[in-house]
Amino acid sequence: MIQLGVNIDHVATLRQARYRGADHGQDWGEPDPVRAAHEAELGGADGITVHLREDRRHIQDRDVELLRRLVKVKLNLEMAATDEMVTIAERLGPHTAMLVPEGREEVTTEGGLDVAGQPGRMADVVGRLKAAGLIVSAFIDADPEQVQASHDAGFDVCEVHTGPYAEVFEATGGDRRRDELRRALESVSQAGDLIRSLGMRFNAGHALNYHNVGPIAGLRGIEELHIGHAIVSRSVYVGMRGAVSEMKALMTRFACSG
C-alpha cells in the first residue's frame, strides 16, 4: 500500500515568522511542529519529514531532537550532504536520511541532487549514514544518469522530483490528453521503473497537492510520497489531522485504481 510522508517544515515557517531570533527559554512559540507531527500521525501519516537547513530558517535543532524521541512512525531527515548535517544524523539516528541540494536564496528545495556530478562525495556520505544504521535516500530529477549514479553511490531509495510534472499539470489544467502532461508523467514513471530495476525503492515528491497527486500515486511500483506545503495549507482550514486524512484517502484511491 502506498505510504504518505508528511513534511511539517512550514508549520515551523509560520512559527518563525513571529518567533525568529527570540530568546525562547522554555517557550518556543506556536505553532509547534512537534505537536503538528502528532496530529499528522493521528490523521494517518506513515512518516514525518523535516529539513534541518544550514541557516535554520524553519526547523530548529530542538525540533529534530524532540521529534526523534516522540514520533511513533518513520522520521525522515532531509539534509544537505555537509559534515555538520551528517554528524547530526549519525547522532540522532532518524529512520531515513534524504540528501537534497540546498541553496541559501531558495524558498524551498528546487531541483534534484546532482549525484552524478560528485560520485566520490556521495559514496562517502552514504557510507557514513548507512554505517550509522540509516536508510539513505537521494532526491533526484527524473534522469537515468542520476538514477544510475545513485545506485552506484549506494543509496537505498530514490525520491523523484515531481516539480516539473506539477508545473505542467497546472499549465494544462490536468488534461491528460495533452502530450506535454503525458510526457511529464511518463518521465517520472520511467525513472521509477529504472530505480526499481536497480533494487532501490521508488518514492516521489515536491509540489504535489490535492489536485495533481492522483496520477503520481497511480504509478507502477511507487512506495511513498512526501508532501508538505499543500497539507500544511489545507490544515489551516480543516486541521492537520483532517488534511492528512484527506490526502491519504486520495492517494489510496488512485493507487488502488492505478
Catalytically active residues, by annotation: 51, 78, 206
The size of the chain, in residues, is 258
DSSP state of 204: E
Rounded Cα distance, 79 and 155, in Å: 14
Q: Residue 35 to residues 29, 38, 97, 225, 244: CA-CA distances in angstroms?
A: 12, 5, 22, 22, 14
Q: How far apart are CA 36 and CA 231, in angstroms?
A: 11
Written as nine digits, the cell of 29 is 512559540
Q: CA-to-CA distance for 52 and 58, rounded, in angstroms?
A: 8
Nearest in space to 223 (alpha carbons), one of 252, 245, 201: 201
Q: Are the beta carbons of 95 and 121 closer than 8 angstroms?
A: no
Residue 31: cis peptide before it, omega within 30 degrees of 0: yes
51: DSSP letter: E
Taking 3-state DSSP, the helix, strand and coil percentages for the chain, each rounded to the nearest 5, stand at: 50, 15, 35
